[in-house]
Homo-oligomer: A and B are copies of this chain.
């Protein structure tokens, strides 16, 4: 599994960074079964193998760690979209969703954290996630603007459609996370439904009047 058995960083700064990452990873892991607000500073440090007070060498509070975690996990999502933009893209709902399922499974904890804290978390954490998500929607809107059939669309309408697409995709992600057995029939059902929903939205977009009279 592990690429290198034990890198064991030598420089002090590197050691500090490693501990910081350990804290972030541990917090992400612990928030797998309860909300982020429900995990304590002591618990994180205990699991991470340091003493409680050493926590403050890295973060001023649990809330600060939460915000950092939100930014960190959002990078995953953004990277996903960036990759999708780079290669020509399937433009096919079925293939896109297959990619999505793979990514969700690969970063399950990260997605779970985002889903949990988007509405449930401390205001600062929730706000950080919402902001990043809005940014992601805007980027998608820009992509849509480049799509052949939509070049003459209103900017507001593009945002609206992008928002709907993101919402629908996120819903699929959330349902994927709720599925018990990753490879099972329930998952296939969720994916099939999501695929239809994407197709339905695209049909709607095709019928949409680009600009009002």
Bound-state CA distance A83–B118 (Å) is 31
Question: Given A37-B38, A204-B201, do A193 and B160 touch, yes or no (CB 8 Å)?
Answer: yes
In the complex, A94 has a CB within 8 A of chain B: no
B160 touches A200 (CB 8 A): yes
Question: Nearest Cβ distance between residue A164 and chain B, in whole angstroms?
Answer: 5
Chain B residues closer than 8 Å to A168, beta-carbon distance: 164, 167-168
B160 touches A196 (CB 8 A): yes
Bound-state CA distance A148–B197 (Å) is 21
What does the 1/0 interface line of A39-78 toward B look like (CB < 8 Å)? 0000000000000000000000000000000000000000
Q: What number of copies of this chain does the assembly contain?
A: 2
Question: Which of A11-19, A97-105, A119-127 lies at the interface with chain B?
Answer: A119-127
**Secondary structure at chain A's binding surface: helix, strand, loop or mixed?**
helix
In the complex, A207 has a CB within 8 A of chain B: yes
Chain B residues closer than 8 Å to A201, beta-carbon distance: 164, 200-201, 204
Question: Given A35-B37, A121-B120, A167-B171, do A208 and B200 touch, yes or no (CB 8 Å)?
Answer: yes
Q: Which residue of B lies closest to A130 (CB)?
A: B178
Chain B residues closer than 8 Å to A193, beta-carbon distance: 156, 159-160, 163
Number of chain A interface residues as a range:
35 or more
Question: Nearest Cβ distance between residue A128 and chain B, in whole angstroms?
Answer: 13
In the complex, A28 has a CB within 8 A of chain B: no
- Please report which residues of chain A, range 143-191, place their CB below 8 angstroms from some CB of chain B when the two chains form the complex: 156-157, 159-161, 163-164, 167-168, 171, 174, 178
Q: Which residue of B lies closest to A204 (CB)?
A: B204
In the complex, A206 has a CB within 8 A of chain B: yes
A157 touches B204 (CB 8 A): no
Bound-state CA distance A159–B167 (Å) is 17
A208 touches B197 (CB 8 A): no
B174 touches A119 (CB 8 A): yes
Choose from B130, B156, B164, B200 the contact partner of A205 (Cβ within 8 Å): B200
